[in-house]
Structure 1
Amino acid sequence: MLRSLGILLSALWLAACSDDSAPATADASQTRDGAQLYRQYCVTCHGSGALGAPRVGKEHRLYWSHEIEEEGFDTIVHEAIAGINSMPPRGGCFDCSDDEIRNTVIYMLQLSGAK
């Protein structure tokens, strides 16, 4: 019962935290920008804090600044690529390149005013 509930919750979370209604149009020569990817894949969870996702925004600057200071930028990017806790690898954007994920992390940090 609990395992079935966990599988159901995971499926619902993946459906809510990524918007597959907009097709990915990037090819090897075109990199999508961080703002576009954030709006398409990240805002549902990181905008609301769903499933414990750290929220993005100026009011959360201290959290993100602390993460950069303690973990380092490269670690945050690696976690975004590999997935962490409830977040799937690449935030569910399975066709995103490492550079696109990196640009999205930068955008999220900028939105939060992290230093």
Structure 2
Amino acid sequence: MKLYAITMLTGLVAGITGCGKDPRLEKGEAVFVANCKVCHAQGINGAPIVGNIKMWGPRLEQGHEVLVSHAITGYGLMPARAGRLDLSDENISNAVLYMMSTVENQ
């Protein structure tokens, strides 16, 4: 069932990206580089490393909406809005979508 959920989500992300580059992913990548990369590139404080299927697999199963909620309100050692209260819900949603998309080809 877990593999099925990951496959379904991967298909969703692939569908988003299949017809040219989705602007949400481009915006999300910019937000990621400016705000999320510090922790998510190195796994600081347990942050899942971007592109790492083992770390993202269980999170992908939770779905985009749950992951966005965690990012907005804070989760574990991650502060709400990654400590950037000026980030909009849309920016956070795009960044989460971008990070989810990085495991697509794993």
TM range (shorter): 0.5 to 0.7
Matched, 1:40 2:34: yes
Q: Distance in 1 between matches of 2:54 and 2:104?
A: 9
Structure with the higher helix share, 1 or 2: 2
Which residue pairs with 2:78 in the alignment? 87
Q: Distance in 2 between matches of 1:113 and 1:102?
A: 17
Q: Provide the aligned length of Structure 1 versus Structure 2.
A: 82
Q: Write out aligned runs for 1:26-105 (5 A).
A: 33-57=27-51, 60-69=52-61, 71-105=62-96
- State the percentage of identical aligned residues: 35
Q: Which runs of 5 or more residues in structure 2 are unaligned? A: 1-23
Greater length-normalized contact order (CA 8 Å, ≥ 6 residues apart): 2
Q: CA RMSD in A?
A: 2.2
When Rg is computed on C-alpha atoms for both structures, the one with the higher figure is: 1
Task: Give the ranges of 4+ consecutive aligned residues of structure 1 lying more than 4 Å apart after TM superposition.
Answer: none
Does the Cα contact within 8 Å between 1:62 and 1:114 map onto a contact in 2?
Answer: no
1:111 equivalent among 94, 102, 105 = 102
What TM-score does the superposition give when structure 2 sets the normalisation length? 0.68
